[in-house]
Structure 1
Amino acid sequence: MKEPVMRETDASVIEFIENVESEKKKADAYQLIDIFKEVTGYDPKMWGPSIIGFGSYHYTYASGREGDAPLVAFSPRKAKISLYLTYESEEREKLLENFGKHTKSKACIYVNKLADIDIDVLKVLIKQTVEHYQKLYPNE
């Protein structure tokens, strides 16, 4: 079986951020580390080559496929900052109405810069995501 791409590594979070080209994205990444760490209580870890995750859980699908994933994560990508706050609920959708300028997919919320969003709403989204995955996968 092939090695999963999404796995925790020993790579340096600081080194990764220092290699981000945009100074603004770099500053936002450091601010996000502070926010995610404050809300989750977990230290940042690299997951794969470009995702900064906080905490982890082990999942097993009905198909038998299993693996590990961060409870919450982000990545300061070239185009936008990806926020891995992945579960969907009515409450989350309501929060996103007051979140600020963003786009979303099933797995991510995308923002251009932190100045575009409400940080207090971000903190609630992080907290709810952590609680959701800890309840869904209580072994962590």
Structure 2
Amino acid sequence: MAKLKTQANDASVDKFLADIKDEQKRTDCQTVLELMKSLTGEPAVMWGKTKVGFGCFHYRGKTSEGDWFHVGFSPRKQDLVLYLHCELEKQTSLLEKLGKHQIGKSCLYIKKFEDVHVPTLKKLIKKAYQSPSIAGATIDQP
């Protein structure tokens, strides 16, 4: 079974965010950072070179096994990606209220933080933090 390449590390979250060149994206990331900190009570940790995660759980999937964060985010060129492992495709009532976004399997893509309804986003983050799941994975809480 393959181990994940992306691992938690000691890199500075503050330095990572300060190095984001786009001012709007940097501001949005700071906002999401504070929001996730307050909702999870967890410290922000760098995972790999570009992901900021909160909390940690161990999982075993069909082809890989490893530790991963409950919720997190990453500033990408096109979008700000929020990693929310709460089976987003099943959260239709919340997603309808969220505002401008796109979803992937466990990813919520937003262009600008101001495009989303914050109380709804908070509900999605809480749901993901409280019940992490990855399709086909067995989750072991550390």
TM-score by length of 2: 0.88
Aligned-residue Cα RMSD (Å) equals 2.1
Aligned residue pairs, count: 138
Letter of the 1:56 counterpart: C
Query: Are 2:43 and 1:36 equivalent residues in the alignment?
Result: no
Deviation (angstroms), 1:138: 5.1
Deviation (angstroms), 1:137: 3.3
Deviation (angstroms), 1:91: 5.6
- The residue that corresponds to 2:5 in the other structure is 5
* 2:81–2:110 Cα contact (<8 Å) kept: yes
- The residue that corresponds to 1:116 in the other structure is 115
86-95 or 112-121, which moves further after superposition? 86-95
Deviation (angstroms), 1:116: 0.1
3-12 or 65-74, which moves further after superposition? 3-12
- The residue that corresponds to 2:139 in the other structure is 137
SS of corresponding position for 2:53:
strand
Deviation (angstroms), 1:104: 1.1
* 2:4–2:64 Cα contact (<8 Å) kept: no
User: What do the CA deviations read for 1:90-137 (whole angstroms, capped 9, x no partner)?
Assistant: 762210000000011112110011100011111110110111128x73
* 2:97–2:120 Cα contact (<8 Å) kept: yes
Q: Aligned partners of 2:24 and 2:88: how far apart in 1?
A: 31
Deviation (angstroms), 1:3: 5.7
What percentage of residue pairs aligned between the two structures are identical? Answer: 36
Would you identify which runs of 4 or more consecutive aligned residues in structure 1 move more than 6 Å? none
Letter of the 1:48 counterpart: G
**After superposition, where does 1:1-140 map in structure 2 within 5 Å?**
4-61=4-61, 63=62, 65-88=64-87, 92-133=91-132, 137=139, 139-140=141-142
Q: Aligned partners of 1:33 and 1:17: how far apart in 2?
A: 10
Q: Aligned partners of 1:106 and 1:139: how far apart in 2?
A: 21
User: What do the CA deviations read for 1:9-62 (whole angstroms, capped 9, x no partner)?
Assistant: 11110111111110011011111111001110101000111000000101123x
Unaligned segments of structure 2, at least 5 residues: none
TM-score by length of 1: 0.89
